[in-house]
A and B are shown apart, each in its own frame.
Chain A
Amino acid sequence: MFSKILVANRGEIAIRAFRAAFELGARTVGVYTWEDRASLHRQKADEAYLIGERGHPVRAHLDIDEIIRVAKLSGADAIYPGYGFLSESPDLARAASAAGITFIGPTAEVLERAGNKVTAKEHAIAAGVPVLASSPATTDIQALLDAADEIGFPVFAKAVAGGGGRGMRRVETREELRGALESAMREAEAAFGDGSMFIEQAVQRPRHIEVQILADATGETIHLFERDCSLQRRHQKVVEIAPAPNLDPVVREAILRDAVTFARSIGYLNAGTVEFLLDTAGPRAGRHVLIEMNPRIQVEHTVTEEVTDVDLVASQMRIAAGETLADLGLGQDTVRVRGAALQCRITTEDPWHDFRPDSGRITTYRSPGGAGIRIDGGTVNAGVYVSPHFDSMLAKMTARGPDFASAVRRAKRGLAEFRIRGVATNIPFVQAVLEDPAFIAGDLSTSFIEERPELLEPRESADRGTKVITWLADVTVNQPYGPHPGGIDPVVKLPQIDLTAPPPAGSRQQLLELGPAAFAARLRAQDGLAVTETTFRDAHQSLLATRVRTRDLVEVLPHVARMTPTLWSIEAWGGATYDVTLRFLGEDPWERLDAIRRALPNICIQMLLRGRNTVGYTPYPAAVTEAFVREAASSGIDVFRIFDALNDV
């Protein structure tokens, strides 16, 4: 085993690698950029070294010379690349070996064979593994346009050197192709330094099934079963599952066999993933094609680890150190799948704003725990600033269970336990995906999300704490109504009476019993003076600019109902209350009326109604007046006092 492993990566995968290295007894070396100086991966490494220059953090991680410099400086004897950045770079593998340092992964030659989609495909065809119709790679846009015509739309335009969705576009029609090619080429040129593209047939409503491969230097090659990564949004995986649910065992066997055949055909070494698309619609439904091999660890390796009990990262390190699969105790016959697992990527993509990656300071972070939940996180805790420089992924939550259904239940529980505040997250979106009956049934395809636009609709997160505290903090700082006057909450002044006893019947019961005409006649006939209590509208409108909140009006009503049940009515609603509740109090006037009615079941509620314009300020058609009166009556208004400003009947 190596004595010191440099991890040429950042975030959660760097920490994942340190954990494996620690368990294998190796010391760990991290690299970090200025922007990442507060990151957890820097602090989890035994030693960590600054790389690159300020303002260019991604470039630093792509700089092979920098990585080799730190490896030599720290005395590392191996480099672990993780995923992304230089993980598939034959140049890094070569540079490492030239410096006498082991690259933990395939050889430069294998990386080239696997990473170049065109040569990979030639190998597949030679090995008898089914592939997609495609064009030769070129930077000549006209040639690509012609090739697309020949293959037939829809097609994919793909960068030869692409990965992780970069430099790739699905194109439905010829008209869109040129623009898509231009943008993808620029992206690939910027990200990989190579703008070559090719055109490929697009599969219909495909499932994305990938097979985990381990191969040692003796040529022994095994699979660790498959993962379903069909759930994608804009080619980014959202939820990954092992094993693939609802998959025909015959198809599964064929896919696993083809994966191993292909890996052997290119002389694959170490861990890798062979990706397939499986048509679920059209004439080719049930048939699979190989799309590519990723010669590295995948983000979603966790689900395979959870169901096979094999530590893939530790296996990569041990194979790179010269051990065989037999040394690792692994053989095709002994690897078994137990239960099911799924991984949810928790990102700062904001479902409220078209999944734009959010940045900002995390103010609260609580992650789930308990049986069957695994969290692989980067730098996520309260106080951390999420910068726009890197990936939007905060953490990976992997849930395991005896079967797919129980794993899903656990995942839902885990998602419900998460509390992340300060930045937007995709959690409500992932929750919606997990709630979808088709997901639970395993009816998956890469168009699952695009077929269900309702999943992308923003969901209101209660998040009451954050909202309340946002208001309180603003008022505390800005003091719109002056400094806190001290004093007491008025409720302590309410008389102590028995509120459990039902209030005695009052004017409201009379009105319900008699109807309005007889009710009025009774008022005329009664001895003594009937009283309308105006504190709930006109009094505070005339003294306090109508600002008294619903809460302060409603708290006292159970007492009013019991202590002064012979009131003829309370006046509680009208134009100004309607306007002010909406404009200044953030309240809904109808909800106020509902609350008053609930708290005061026995006394008539009265409102003031302007004849020409109900509670508003401009005249409305009679239909609005009628609808308003009907709604007010059914919401609890018993007496309408109607007037006209100029006494116009």
Chain B
Amino acid sequence: MRPAIEAVLATGTTVAEVAMCYTGDLLDPDEDLYTLDYYLALAERILETGAHILAIKDMAGLLRAGAADRLVRALRERFPDTPIHVHTHDTPGGQLATLLAAAHAGADAVDAASAPMSGTTSQPSLSALVAATAHTELDTGLSLRAVSDLEPYWEAVRAVYRPFESGLPGPTGRVYTHEIPGGQLSNLRQQAISLGLGDHFEKVEDWYAAANRILGRPTKVTPSSKAVGDLALQLVAADADPADFEAHPERYDIPDSVIGFLAGELGDLPGGWPEPFRSKVLKDRTINIGETPLSPEDEWDIDAEADRTTRRRTLNRLLFAGPTRQREEFVKRYGDLSPLSTLDYLYGLTPNEEASITVDRGVQLYVGLEAISEPDDHGYRTVMATLNGQLRPVIVRDRGVQVDIIEAEKADPGKPGHVPAPFAGNATARVSEGERVQAGQPVAMIEAMKMEATITAPVAGTVTRVLLRGTQHVEARDLILEIG
């Protein structure tokens, strides 16, 4: 964490709140790893970095009220001047008690969410917190009226996003056993459903608990929780026996995230590595752990001297290359969709209801739906929409319609030997399969409208495929021949 903490401290203007991740139960006499001493020593190390605030980050809702009281009291005694901020998830259902216990013990700040967006895998309810502390020495200073007046908004927001609900119907005490973090619990349920295990989620939970033990009881938060979850799902899918897997991991497929975790990609494990399991997994594997290197151009582009747009774009690419590309494609195609209401954005148009979209100051679009045609042979439907009162047909591929027509093979821009048709027209090959060609050599002709163009070989090599039969009509970007 040190480079991040130092970077924050270096800003001089922002607060470095450093968290210790909480797991286990420090009141349990059998707990020998995540004990009070463990957390106190950890806090000591954290505060040596110069952190402004100490946070207790309880990802799964495992911090019980009694443990919170003990932990905060001990921290308060050892570090009387350090503010303490407590974060928990309400997965088991009673975590308001934890927040209150922590506050009474001397915590200075806690996390809560607007009531309609609270509970279960989320944080405890803000209204409940405000009400519980009102007119006491812990009074939050927030108006109960004000926080509850904002609730209808969030309730309506949550309804709009219903398809993304995690499906956790209520609190669960099983979290004390499996220790799955709040965010991951909803993800795992979705993954279990897609594996056909939706009705047997308790099996996934049991395996998660087993995987957690086999991997040495790490603190579980992205990305360590991912390693545990990936292993659990893999073993459930293989219907494996935990004891056999632990004894003979070499007989199983093991997810990359687990191998990386055991190789130390995420750092060292607080309780030491599980042996001999770890050595068996890593045997005969070479794992390179290294930072993603930074090119000099990128280093220049993220410098404080670079312009903000370049800096942000470069950071996006460095941190999330794939999603950044996806977003660029998306914007090119659909533009900025932020002016759309979320109902329109997620569910589209309905007849008899005109969507009104403010795209700019004083620029309004009115979009309506007149009709949707039956799909054609290629699975395309014509959506007859209106834009500002004018009919506007939009052709849409209905991905639910199966079609038998084979589309012409398109040239892959990533393959230098793929020769595409530059535009729609009638193309004729000038070379045949097996022929050797030089880069720049004419390999085909194409004629369309007023133009005739020579298509040349982009690379030298042997013609491995010619997709033209005589003179043939081609669409732009169709693959016409391939050079190997």
Residues of B within 8 A of A477 (CB): 348, 372, 381, 383, 396, 398
Closest to B46 in A: A649
Whether the Cβ atoms of A630 and B304 lie closer than 8 Å is: yes
CB distance from B304 to the nearest CB of A (A): 6
Whether the Cβ atoms of B223 and A645 lie closer than 8 Å is: yes
Whether the Cβ atoms of A643 and B160 lie closer than 8 Å is: no
CB distance from B474 to the nearest CB of A (A): 11
B312 within 8 A of A: yes
B93 within 8 A of A: no
Q: Contacts A529-B139, A552-B157, A639-B15: A648 and B267 contacting too (C-beta < 8 A)?
A: yes
CB distance from A635 to the nearest CB of B (A): 8
Give the secondary structure class of A's interface: mixed
- A:275-317 near B, CB below 8 Å: none
A538 within 8 A of B: yes
Please report the C-alpha to C-alpha distance between residue A646 and residue B227 in the assembled complex, in whole angstroms.
12
B110 within 8 A of A: yes
B484 within 8 A of A: no
Whether the Cβ atoms of B312 and A588 lie closer than 8 Å is: yes
Q: Contacts A363-B394, A477-B396, A579-B320: A641 and B55 contacting too (C-beta < 8 A)?
A: yes
Mask: chain A, 114-142; 1 = CB below 8 Å from B; 0 = not: 00000000000000000000000000000
Whether the Cβ atoms of A542 and B183 lie closer than 8 Å is: yes
Whether the Cβ atoms of B383 and A476 lie closer than 8 Å is: yes
Whether the Cβ atoms of B347 and A483 lie closer than 8 Å is: yes
Whether the Cβ atoms of A641 and B19 lie closer than 8 Å is: yes
Number of interface residues of B (CB under 8 A): 178
Residues of A within 8 A of B275 (CB): none
Please report the C-alpha to C-alpha distance between residue A470 and residue B349 in the assembled complex, in whole angstroms.
11
Mask: chain B, 62-96; 1 = CB below 8 Å from A; 0 = not: 00000000000000000001110101010000000
* Residue from B121, B224, B369 in contact with A543 in the complex, judged by beta carbons closer than 8 Å: B121
Whether the Cβ atoms of B52 and A516 lie closer than 8 Å is: yes
Residues of A within 8 A of B212 (CB): none
Residues of A within 8 A of B3 (CB): 611, 622, 625-626
* Residue from B18, B160, B449 in contact with A642 in the complex, judged by beta carbons closer than 8 Å: B18
Q: Contacts A390-B449, A473-B383, A579-B320: A531 and B166 contacting too (C-beta < 8 A)?
A: no
- B:334-354 near A, CB below 8 Å: 334-350
Mask: chain A, 570-608; 1 = CB below 8 Å from B; 0 = not: 010001101101110011111000000000000010100
| Central interface residue in A475, A540, A567, A642, by most chain B CB within 10 Å | A642
B266 within 8 A of A: yes
A51 within 8 A of B: no
Residues of A within 8 A of B176 (CB): none
Q: Which of A38-46, A98-106, A200-208, A490-498 is the contact stretch?
A: A490-498
Closest to B451 in A: A357
Whether the Cβ atoms of B348 and A616 lie closer than 8 Å is: no
B117 within 8 A of A: yes
A174 within 8 A of B: no
B156 within 8 A of A: yes
A539 within 8 A of B: yes
A467 within 8 A of B: yes
Q: Which of A183-191, A217-225, A238-246, A257-265 is the contact stretch?
A: A183-191
A501 within 8 A of B: no
A70 within 8 A of B: no
Whether the Cβ atoms of A359 and B160 lie closer than 8 Å is: no
B409 within 8 A of A: no
Please report the C-alpha to C-alpha distance between residue A464 and residue B164 in the assembled complex, in whole angstroms.
28
| Central interface residue in B2, B42, B107, B422, by most chain A CB within 10 Å | B2
Whether the Cβ atoms of B142 and A567 lie closer than 8 Å is: yes
Closest to B309 in A: A590
Whether the Cβ atoms of A528 and B140 lie closer than 8 Å is: yes
Q: Which of B193-201, B241-249, B384-392, B458-466 is the contact stretch?
A: B384-392
Whether the Cβ atoms of B330 and A586 lie closer than 8 Å is: yes
CB distance from B435 to the nearest CB of A (A): 18
* Residue from A547, A620, A639, A647 in contact with B318 in the complex, judged by beta carbons closer than 8 Å: A620
Q: Contacts A543-B165, A543-B186: A623 and B122 contacting too (C-beta < 8 A)?
A: no
Please report the C-alpha to C-alpha distance between residue A508 and residue B334 in the assembled complex, in whole angstroms.
36
Please report the C-alpha to C-alpha distance between residue A629 and residue B81 in the assembled complex, in whole angstroms.
26
Q: Which of B231-239, B277-285, B321-329, B411-419 is the contact stretch?
A: B321-329
B331 within 8 A of A: yes
Q: Which of A28-36, A333-341, A518-526 is the contact stretch?
A: A518-526
CB distance from A605 to the nearest CB of B (A): 10
* Residue from B83, B324, B359, B387 in contact with A523 in the complex, judged by beta carbons closer than 8 Å: B83
B361 within 8 A of A: no
| Central interface residue in A495, A563, A587, A624, by most chain B CB within 10 Å | A624
CB distance from A166 to the nearest CB of B (A): 6
Please report the C-alpha to C-alpha distance between residue A646 and residue B38 in the assembled complex, in whole angstroms.
13
Residues of B within 8 A of A633 (CB): 8, 11, 13-14
Whether the Cβ atoms of B112 and A528 lie closer than 8 Å is: no
Please report the C-alpha to C-alpha distance between residue A357 and residue B423 in the assembled complex, in whole angstroms.
7
Q: Contacts A485-B347, A589-B316, A629-B7: A520 and B396 contacting too (C-beta < 8 A)?
A: no
Please report the C-alpha to C-alpha distance between residue A578 and residue B448 in the assembled complex, in whole angstroms.
46
Residues of B within 8 A of A563 (CB): 143, 146-147, 149-150
Whether the Cβ atoms of A469 and B320 lie closer than 8 Å is: no
- A:213-258 near B, CB below 8 Å: none
* Residue from A473, A549, A559, A627 in contact with B342 in the complex, judged by beta carbons closer than 8 Å: A549
CB distance from A558 to the nearest CB of B (A): 11
Please report the C-alpha to C-alpha distance between residue A626 and residue B2 in the assembled complex, in whole angstroms.
11
A356 within 8 A of B: yes
Residues of A within 8 A of B213 (CB): none
CB distance from A619 to the nearest CB of B (A): 5
Closest to B357 in A: A468
Residues of B within 8 A of A648 (CB): 1, 267-268
Q: Contacts A464-B359, A467-B334, A516-B16: A644 and B1 contacting too (C-beta < 8 A)?
A: yes
Please report the C-alpha to C-alpha distance between residue A586 and residue B53 in the assembled complex, in whole angstroms.
35
Residues of A within 8 A of B326 (CB): 582-583
Whether the Cβ atoms of A543 and B334 lie closer than 8 Å is: no
Closest to B325 in A: A582
Q: Contacts A179-B442, A477-B398: A532 and B156 contacting too (C-beta < 8 A)?
A: no
Whether the Cβ atoms of B394 and A520 lie closer than 8 Å is: no
A500 within 8 A of B: no
A541 within 8 A of B: yes
* Residue from B82, B320, B334, B395 in contact with A586 in the complex, judged by beta carbons closer than 8 Å: B334
Closest to A586 in B: B330
Whether the Cβ atoms of A646 and B224 lie closer than 8 Å is: yes
CB distance from B22 to the nearest CB of A (A): 9
- B:178-225 near A, CB below 8 Å: 182-183, 186-187, 218-225
Residues of A within 8 A of B163 (CB): 481-482
Mask: chain A, 608-638; 1 = CB below 8 Å from B; 0 = not: 0111101111111111111111110100011
Whether the Cβ atoms of B123 and A524 lie closer than 8 Å is: no
Please report the C-alpha to C-alpha distance between residue A543 and residue B149 in the assembled complex, in whole angstroms.
21
Whether the Cβ atoms of B423 and A639 lie closer than 8 Å is: no
Please report the C-alpha to C-alpha distance between residue A465 and residue B390 in the assembled complex, in whole angstroms.
12
Whether the Cβ atoms of A543 and B221 lie closer than 8 Å is: no
CB distance from B138 to the nearest CB of A (A): 4
The 4 closest A-B pairs by CB, nearest first: A611-B1, A476-B348, A467-B335, A539-B113
Q: List 22 A-B contacts (CB under 8 A).
A: A190-B447, A364-B392, A464-B359, A470-B333, A473-B348, A474-B348, A476-B347, A489-B341, A495-B150, A520-B15, A528-B141, A543-B117, A544-B164, A582-B327, A610-B223, A624-B315, A639-B17, A641-B19, A642-B5, A644-B267, A645-B221, A646-B268
In the complex, given contacts A353-B476, A643-B20, what are 12 additional A-B residue pairs having Cβ atoms less than 8 angstroms apart? A468-B339, A472-B348, A481-B346, A492-B156, A493-B152, A520-B52, A534-B123, A551-B340, A568-B109, A625-B3, A629-B11, A640-B8
Binding site for B on A (CB under 8 A): 164-166, 179, 183, 186-187, 190, 353-354, 356-357, 359, 361, 363-364, 382-383, 388-392, 421, 463-465, 467-479, 481-485, 487-495, 511-512, 515-517, 519-521, 523-524, 526-535, 538-545, 547-552, 555-556, 559-560, 563-564, 566-568, 571, 575-576, 578-579, 581-583, 586-590, 604, 606, 609-612, 614-631, 633, 637-649
